[in-house]
Amino acid sequence: MADRRPTPLDMISKLRSATPARIFLPRAGAALTTRATLDFQLAHAEARDAVEERLDAESLFGDLTSRGLKVVCVRSAARDRRSFLLRPDLGRRLDDESRERLKSAAGDYDLAFVIAEGLSARAIDRHAIPLLEKTLHSLDRHSWMIAPIVLAEQGRVALGDDIGETLGARLVAVFIGERPGLSSPDSLGVYLTFAPRVGRTDAERNCLSNIRPQGLTYDEAARKLLYLCNEARRRKLTGVELKEEAETLASDGLREIDEKES
């Protein structure tokens, strides 16, 4: 027989804070109430806009050069957003003109930073400069030869391989907008690759994910990135082998590489 005593709703609401999931949503019949429906629509709209937005390379170029940094702008072989989404191979390759431009900036570099919009220009817009500044501030500039900062339009993670190889950098750090989640349209990822060259696999990289104030903070991300850079240089590798060691020292935030984001 059914037990119809008053329900322990308070015990349930106590659980609400245990997860960011959309639980205990209000119902209208078998559907959601208007407000809950529109909240979802707004979240999806923000994620979609984040995917469609373009990197404002000009303004970012200005922001970086005004900080005294050398900057080179490049593009991938994907000409527009549609071909970027449909042809991952094009987003991983420089266009010919960009390659020529990069060649003239080539040198003997320990580390190159690449800033690419990936799937969220919003993430770059909000988090790339704060993270870059914190990272550069912590790097010992006497022992690290840093390449000009590369701003890449329509770039995927592996574009860093082409860029790093062309520049002659021993290590490349790609700052990239991650595939937007419904509740995180502006998540930044950083992928670090030792001895970058075309054809490197994701297993040969280390990744910091979910960089944003509500996720992995700039300070934490910069600290972890610095650790990875130093270890990568010392051991002359990145990837699975470095990850296992790094995890014991700096456990959270070092995630498995999600191939969907690369």
Partner 1 sequence: MYATTIRGTSYRFPDLKALMAKATPLRSGDCLAGIAATSAAERVAAQMALADLPLSTFLNEALVPYEEDEVTRLILDSHDRKAFAPIASLTVGEFRDWLLSDAANQETLTALTFGLTPEMVAAVSKICRNQDLILIAAKRRVVTRFRNTLGLRGRLSSRIQPNHPTDDARGVLASAIDGLLLGNGDAVIGVNPASDNPEQCYELLRLLDELRETLNIPTQSCVLAHVTTTLQLMERQAPVDLVFQSIGGTQAANSSFGIDLALLRESREAALALNRGTIGDNVMYFETGQGSALSANAHWNCDQQTLEARAYGVARIFEPLLINTVVGFIGPEYLFDGKQITRAALEDHFCGKLLGLPMGCDVCYTNHAEADQNDMDDLLTLLAVAGVNYVMGVPGADDVMLNYQSTSYHDVLAVRHMLDLAPAPEFAQWLADVGLTDTQGEIQRQAVPASFAPLLERA
Residues of this chain that interact with partner 1 (CB under 8 A) are 2-5, 7-9, 11-12, 14-16, 18-25, 27, 29-32, 36, 40-41, 43-44, 47-48, 50-51, 85-88, 119, 179-185, 259-260
Of the pair 12, 249, the CB lying nearest partner 1 is at: 12
Of 89 and 108, nearer to partner 1 (C-beta) is 89
Cβ of residue 63: shortest distance to partner 1, in angstroms? 26
* Identity of the residue, 65 or 183, whose beta carbon is nearer to partner 1 in the bound complex: 183
Minimum CB distance to partner 1, residue 84 (Å): 9
Residue closer to partner 1 (CB basis): 21 or 66: 21
The nearest distance, CB 37 to partner 1, in angstroms, is: 9
Name which of 58 and 259 has its Cβ closer to partner 1: 259
Alpha-carbon gap, residue 49 to 60, rounded angstroms: 19
DSSP labels, the chain: ----SPP-HHHHHHHGGG-SS--S--EETTEE-HHHHHHHHHHHHHHHHHHHPPP-HHHHHHHHHTTT--EEEEEBS--SHHHHHH-HHHHTSB-HHHHHHHHTT---BSBEEEEE-TT-HHHHHHHHHHHHHHHHHHS-TTT--BPPEEEEET--TTHHHHHHHHHTBSEEEEEEEPPPBTTBTT-EEEEEEES--TT--GGGEEEEEEESTTSB-HHHHHHHHHHHHHHHHHHT--SHHHHHHHHHHS-TTBPPP-GGG-
Rounded CA gap, 146 and 162, in Å? Answer: 17
Least distance to partner 1 from the beta carbon of 234, Å?
Answer: 27
Nearest CB to partner 1, comparing residues 9 and 96: 9
